[in-house]
Every structure is written in structure tokens, then in C-alpha cells.
Amino acid sequence: MSATRTMMSQNVAKDRIITKFPQAFHPDATPYQKMNFHPKVKAACTDNKTGRVGLKICKAVLVGDVSVGKTSLVNRFCHDVFDRDYKATIGVDFEVEKFSLLNVPFTLQIWDTAGQERFKCIAASYYRGANVTIVVFDLSDESSLSNVARWMDDAAGNSSDPIKFVVGTKKDLVSPAAFESIEQNAVEIANSLGAEFWAVSSKTGENVKEFFFRAVALTFEAAILREIDTSGAGPTKQIGNDLITKGDHPNIDSIGRVESGQDYMTS
Ligand SMILES: Nc1nc2c(ncn2[C@@H]2O[C@H](COP(=O)(O)OP(=O)(O)OP(=O)(O)O)[C@@H](O)[C@H]2O)c(=O)[nH]1
Ligand SMILES: [Mg+2]
């Protein structure tokens, strides 16, 4: 997390506070059709009772071909920087980001894996238990899109029903006409995989924060709903207060996904 970022209470930076439910990139390119936080989730957050909950830190994993822009996407979001030079990721790396949603602290580990084949077996051991699977491809390189299904299979197949995204990067490199054409294909593929589609540019920053906020909100909501369902005692615990440092490998519980097709319009 950037040291210069203004910190608020609970050590959450000002620009990591989510008060409104972030919307999908495209309403026809998502299985997550809800428009607002679930009323039960809002009630749980308003209640704000302390205590421990089984849920630890949630985990997001980025996978995809070599050089599609996974590290750049993480660096743009976590550090607001962009590097034109390519430095291949060796094995895996991760960042920890703290958020506040509806005044409740929530922490996401963002795992950045290597696209190079020779690191695949290392990266694969980190897929397990991911709450969010993000398959990244390069909007300026059709071949990276054709590998999306395979990456999703590998990564999401090792997790328990994660929230799924297909993210096209380098939007700044494609003309509007080229974008329209590849977007159509990408939306079809994302839909067939039960994933939500996004198009971003780590160079300009376009849609990067919006994408991560969306991923965080869907993960948070699913985590709280699962806690409410499994505890049976209702929303009386505080969620997301555990901290980890690099090197820790917590055994994170997988979370249930919010039923798709629901539309929570209540305020
Ligand atoms: N123009 C432009 N270039 C980008 C963008 N994102 C990444 N790049 C460039 O693409 C190259 C590869 O980016 P990385 O983020 O390192 O790719 P990666 O997917 O992490 O690659 P591996 O770690 O090898 O799997 C770098 O030269 C980046 O500067 C983008 O949004 N726009
Ligand atoms: Mg990388």
C-alpha cells in the first residue's frame, strides 16, 4: 500500500473506501446481475458488532499468458505506477490491500502469477482457495484471448466456485473498431465461462480502480452472506480484521457465491 496515501480510521486509505455497490463494466457481460448490496449485508454492516468470524483474508489470483499485463494491472491499482519496460514475473508475488466497505474493514490479497510456462507448476499451487479468479488477456493480441478458457479452467478449477473475471488489458493500444471486434469475442468467451468481462488500460489507468472495486465488493458481499448463512447466528461479528505479511500462507476458507440473477434494488 502506498505510504503517501492518506490513512483513515482502521488504517484504510481514503481511496479504498467503498460506499456504493460498484457496477459491472457491461450489463450483458456478467453473471453477477445485482445492483446493490444485499439487504442482509447492509444490516450486518450497520450492526457492526465485534468478535471473530471464521473468514480470514480473501484471495484474488491473476493468471494469463506471458506479457499480457498482469503485473502492470496490479501495480497500477496498488501503487498507481506504470512501467513501459517488461520484467517477467518469476513464480508469484502478492500485494495486500485494505478496504472499507459499508464501514467494515476488508482485506484482499492480490496474487500475481507468472505467465511463463516454466513457472506454471509454482503458480498453480497458489490457485487453490482463491475467492476471485482473474484471467487476463491482451486486447491487442487475439492469441492471448484464445487461451483464456484454458487459464480459467486451470485456475478456477482449483478453487471452490470463485468469483470469475476475464480482463482485457492495453485498451490504449487498440483502435475503437478493433476494440469493438475483440470485445465481442471476449464477452462471448466470458459469458461461456460464467465470468464478468472488463476492459482496462494500466497505462492510462482507465477502468483499473473500477474493476478492482467491483471485484472487492462482490467478494465482500459473498463472504458476508456465507458467514451469515453458516453461523446461523446472524450478523454479530466483525469481518476482515486479520492482517498478514508476505510469507504467510493462511488457509483461507473458500466462500459461496451470491446467487446470480438477483437484483437487490432496496436502498
Ligand atoms: N500500452 C500498454 N502497455 C501495457 C499495458 N499493460 C502492460 N503493458 C506492457 O506490457 C508489457 C508486459 O506487462 P507485464 O505487466 O509485465 O505482463 P505480465 O502479464 O505480468 O507478464 P508475466 O509476468 O511474464 O506473465 C510491459 O512492457 C508493460 O509495460 C497497458 O495497459 N498498455
Ligand atoms: Mg508479471
Give residue-wise pLDDT tens across range 19-41: 999 999 999 999 999 899 999 88
Give the model's pLDDT for residue 45: 83
Q: Whose CA is nearest to atom 21 of ligand 1?
A: 67
Residue 65 in any domain: the answer is yes
Give the model's pLDDT for residue 248: 37
Query: Is residue 163 classed exposed, middle or buried when 0-12, 13-18 and 19+ CB atoms within 10 A define those classes?
Result: buried
**Atom of ligand 1 minimally distant from the CA of 74:** 15
Q: Whose CA is nearest to atom 27 of ligand 1?
A: 86
Amino acid at 86: Y
The residue segments making up the domain with residue 215 are 2-18+54-222
Give the model's pLDDT for residue 53: 36
Give the model's pLDDT for residue 48: 67
**Atom of ligand 1 minimally distant from the CA of 173:** 1
Please name which ligand lies nearest the alpha carbon of 116.
Answer: 1
Give the model's pLDDT for residue 243: 36
- Whether the Cβ atoms of residue 188 and residue 149 lie closer than 8 Å to each other: no
Helix, strand, coil percent values for the chain (each to nearest 5): 35, 20, 45
pLDDT at 183 over 70: yes
Termini Cα distance of the chain: 32
pLDDT at 149 over 70: yes
Question: What is the number of structural domains in the chain?
Answer: 1
Residue 228 in any domain: the answer is no
Give the model's pLDDT for residue 21: 96
Residue 23 in any domain: the answer is no
DSSP SS3 for 245: coil
Span 191-249, pLDDT tens digits: 999 999 999 999 999 999 999 999 999 999 888 888 777 765 444 444 444 333 333 33
- Report the CATH number that the domain containing residue 81 is assigned in CATH: 3.40.50.300
CA angle 46, 47, 48 (to 5 degrees): 90
Residue 170 in any domain: the answer is yes
Q: Whose CA is nearest to atom 29 of ligand 1?
A: 84
C-beta of 240 in contact with ligand 1 (< 6 A): no
CA angle 3, 9, 10 (to 5 degrees): 80
Residue 127 in any domain: the answer is yes
CA of 87 to the centre of ligand 1 (A): 8
- Whether the Cβ atoms of residue 252 and residue 131 lie closer than 8 Å to each other: yes
> ipTM of this complex > 0.90?
yes
What is this structure's pTM? 0.86
Average pLDDT, the chain: 82
